[in-house]
Structure 1
Amino acid sequence: MKNAILSVGSVFPDFKKNAVVSTEKGKEFYEITSEELKNSGKWTVLFWWPKDFTFVCPTEIAEFNRHNDDFSDRDAILIGASTDSEYVHLAWRKHHEDLKDLRFPMLADTSKSLAEELGILESSEKIAYRTTFIIDPQGIVRWVSVYDLNVGRNVKEVLRVLDALQTDELCPCNWQKGEATLQN
Structure 2
Amino acid sequence: MEAVKVGGKVPNFELEVYDPKTGGFGKVSLEDFMRERRWLVLFFYPADFTFVCPTELADLGEHYSELVEMGVEVVSVSTDTKYVHLAWQRSEKLLENVRYPMGADPTGKVSRMFGVYDEDTGLALRGTFIINPDGILVGSEINYYNVGRNAEELVRKMKANVYLMSHPDEACPAKWEPGKKTLRPSEDIVGRVHEALD
Give 1:74 shift: 0.9
Q: How does 1:75-90 map to 2 (within 5 A)?
A: 75-90=71-86
Q: Is the 8 A contact 1:23 1:90 kept in 2?
A: no
Partners of 2:13 and 2:38 in 1: CA distance: 17
Cα-Cα RMSD:
1.5
Amino acid at match of 2:9: V
CA contact (8 A) 1:23 1:94 kept: no
Distance 1:68 1:102 in 2: 8
Deviation at 1:86, TM superposition (A): 0.3
Shift of 1:182: 1.1
Larger mean CA deviation between 14-23 and 58-67 belongs to 14-23
Query: Contact 1:89–1:106 at 8 Å: present in 2 too?
Result: yes
Counterpart CA distance in 2 for 1:134 and 1:76 is: 9
Partners of 1:117 and 1:5 in 2: CA distance: 5
Equivalent position to 1:146, from 142, 148, 166: 142
Which runs of structure 2 are paired with 1:29-48 in the superposition (5 Å)? Answer: 29-48=25-44
Unaligned runs of 5+ in 2: 165-169, 186-198
1:64 is aligned to 2:60: yes
Aligned to 1:16: 14
Question: TM-score under structure 2 normalisation?
Answer: 0.86
Moved over 6 A (4+): none
What TM-score, normalized to structure 1?
0.92
| CA apart distance, 1:100 | 3.0
Matched residue, 1:103: 99
Alpha-carbon displacement from aligned partner over 1:93-138 (angstroms, at most 9, x marks no partner)? 1110121332100000111111112211013102111000010001
Matched residue SS, 1:146: strand
Distance 1:4 1:20 in 2: 28
Instruction: Kindly indicate whether residue 173 of structure 2 is the aligned counterpart of residue 177 of structure 1.
Output: no
Segments of 5+ residues of structure 1 without an aligned counterpart are: none
- Which is higher, the Rg of structure 1 or of structure 2? 2
In 2, are the aligned partners of 1:7 and 1:143 still within 8 Å (CA)? Answer: no
Secondary structure in 2 matching 1:111? coil
What residue in structure 2 maps to residue 167 of structure 1? 163
Query: Separation in 2 of the partners of 1:40 and 1:102?
Result: 22
Q: Residue type matched to 1:38 in 2?
A: M
User: Would you say how many aligned residue pairs link Structure 1 and Structure 2?
Assistant: 180
Deviation at 1:67, TM superposition (A): 0.3
